[in-house]
Amino acid sequence: MEIKIRELCKSYGKKKALQNFDATFENGIYGILGPNGAGKSTLMNILTDNLLRDSGRILCGGKDILKWGAAYRKSLGYMPQQQQLYETFTVTEFLAYMGTLKGMKKKEIRARMELLFPLLNLDKVKRKKIKELSGGMKQRVLLLQALLNDPKILILDEPTVGLDPNQIIEIRSLIKSLGEKHTIILSSHILSE
């Protein structure tokens, strides 16, 4: 799915967070690299339709995302930077809840979970409470919820932050394997990423 961003601007008061930002994303993996405060989260929030731009255009398949509305949001998967999970939920309960919020049917949620648990190596922990999981497992749960609705566009905000080297390798290779079929936009402040 192609996303074209043209002359995107966003200010907070006098602070210009984005100024005439242009980019074109197609299928594949794109990194948004910049130091803290560069405007990455602002861009992600506008791309996920959580924040309104001041001016500019964001076209998805030639039509502005604001015109697509809910249909655009349904084609998105978003993995936030903060691990704000419901610690007392089990992994399965959390994912069922997220799927429901995404407007998915129970049967569909179950089928997607069955497909994705082995892919993300989460089969063994699906009945565990979120609070019992390691940081790396929580990241994988967050990635799984982003993939639940079979999105065409995946937006990942600093997906490897807080992970140990082995977990970073794991998450990177997973994201790489998803890049062929999805448009993946990931932010990072780490150059090697």
Interaction site with ligand ADP (CB under 6 A)? 12, 15, 17, 34, 36-42
Q: State the nearest-atom distance from the C-beta of 40 to ligand ADP, in Å.
A: 3
DSSP 3-state assignment of 78? strand
Distance between CA 113 and CA 59 in Å, rounded?
A: 31
The minimum distance between CB 16 and ligand ADP, in angstroms, equals 8
Which of 9/38 has CB closer to ligand ADP?
A: 38
Of residues 16 and 181, the one with the C-beta less far from ligand ADP: 16
Residue 124: HSE in the Cβ half-sphere, 13 Å Cα cutoff = 5
Q: How near is the Cβ of 112 to ligand ADP at its closest, in Å?
A: 29
Give the residue with the Cβ less far from ligand ADP, 81 or 90: 81
Q: How far is the CB of 141 from ligand ADP (least distance, A)?
A: 23
Report the residue number, 16 or 63, with the smaller CB distance to ligand ADP. 16
Q: Convert 107-136 to b/e letters by CB count within 10 Å (16 or more is b).
A: eebeebbeebbeebebeebbeeebeebeeb
Smallest separation, CB 164 to ligand ADP (Å): 23
Nearer to ligand ADP, 21 or 94 (CB): 21
> Beta strands of 34-175 (E only): which ranges?
55-60, 63-64, 76-79, 153-157
* Helix, strand, coil percent content, the chain, rounded in steps of 5: 40, 25, 35
3-state secondary structure 43-65: HHHHHCCCCCCCEEEEEECCEEH
Q: How far is the CB of 22 from ligand ADP (least distance, A)?
A: 17
Pick the closer one to ligand ADP by CB: 17 or 60: 17
